[in-house]
């Protein structure tokens, strides 16, 4: 990241977008893709997946958990690969993707930090889409800790 970008006012050079594979998240991915294409920026697409079944606590990992994790990882990779291809088709030259185990907000924050991105993009809602709240837990959580600019794309009316 250049100093002028850090100081503000510069175009984003490295953009990270999170997706859970939902229709609404794909709106955020498309927005991140257009910004990357317009800026000639690098785009990284990340999907976080849970390495253990919901509600399962404790440290022991059994073989059914390993099967769960493998399925969850494969699904996350599929979301990412589709989005990477769409970004290439949209003219983004530098695009990559990854599926990462962990809590989605924590994964996005640590990937943003580690990769030195200057713009993090998430949708306002994802898979759960509870109508009670405008924001899902991911934009809510990342907004408190983001190491860079954050764009929350309004993905519902
Ligand atoms: N597993 C994930 N990996 C990467 N990004 C994600 C993931 N889940 C959600 N996001 C990002 O966060 C945005 C909002 O989704 P979020 O999960 O916060 O909403 P929700 O599913 O409606 O509600 P919640 O999960 O809080 O019940 C998505 O559009 C996407 O950009
Ligand atoms: Mg969600």
Spell out the domain ranges in the chain: 12-52+63-153
CA of 108 to the centre of ligand 1 (A): 10
For residues 115 and 86, give the distance between their C-alpha atoms in angstroms, rounded to a whole number: 22
CA of 1 to the centre of ligand 1 (A): 27
Looking at domain 12-52+63-153, what is its CATH homologous superfamily? HUPs (3.40.50.620)
Place of tokens 């294409």: 37
Tens digit of each residue's pLDDT, the chain (157 residues): 444 444 456 788 999 999 999 999 999 999 999 999 999 999 999 999 998 887 766 666 667 888 989 999 999 999 999 999 999 999 999 999 999 999 999 999 999 999 999 999 999 987 776 666 789 999 999 999 999 999 999 998 6
In the beta sheet, which residues pair with residue 97?
Answer: 45
| Overall pTM > 0.85 | yes
Place of tokens 């997706």: 19
Q: Are 79 and 20 in contact (CB under 8 A)?
A: yes
The neighbourhood of ligand 2, an ion, using CB within 5 A, equals: 126-128
Q: Which ligand is nearest to the CA of 105?
A: 1
């Amino acid at each position: 990241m250049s100093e002028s970008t850090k100081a503000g006012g510069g175009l984003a050079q490295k953009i990270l977008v999170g997706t859970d594979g939902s229709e609404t998240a794909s709106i955020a991915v498309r927005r991140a893709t257009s910004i990357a294409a317009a800026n000639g920026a690098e785009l990284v697409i990340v999907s976080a997946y849970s390495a253990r079944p919901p509600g399962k606590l404790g440290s022991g990992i059994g073989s059914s958990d390993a099967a769960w994790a493998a399925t969850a990882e494969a699904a996350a990779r599929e979301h990412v690969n589709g989005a990477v291809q769409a970004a290439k088709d949209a003219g983004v030259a530098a695009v990559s993707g990854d599926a990462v185990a962990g809590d989605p907000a924590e994964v996005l924050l640590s990937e943003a930090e580690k990769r030195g991105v200057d713009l993090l993009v998430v949708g306002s809602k994802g898979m759960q889409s509870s109508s009670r709240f405008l924001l899902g837990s991911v934009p809510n959580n990342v907004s408190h800790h983001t190491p860079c600019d954050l764009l929350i794309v309004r993905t519902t009316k």
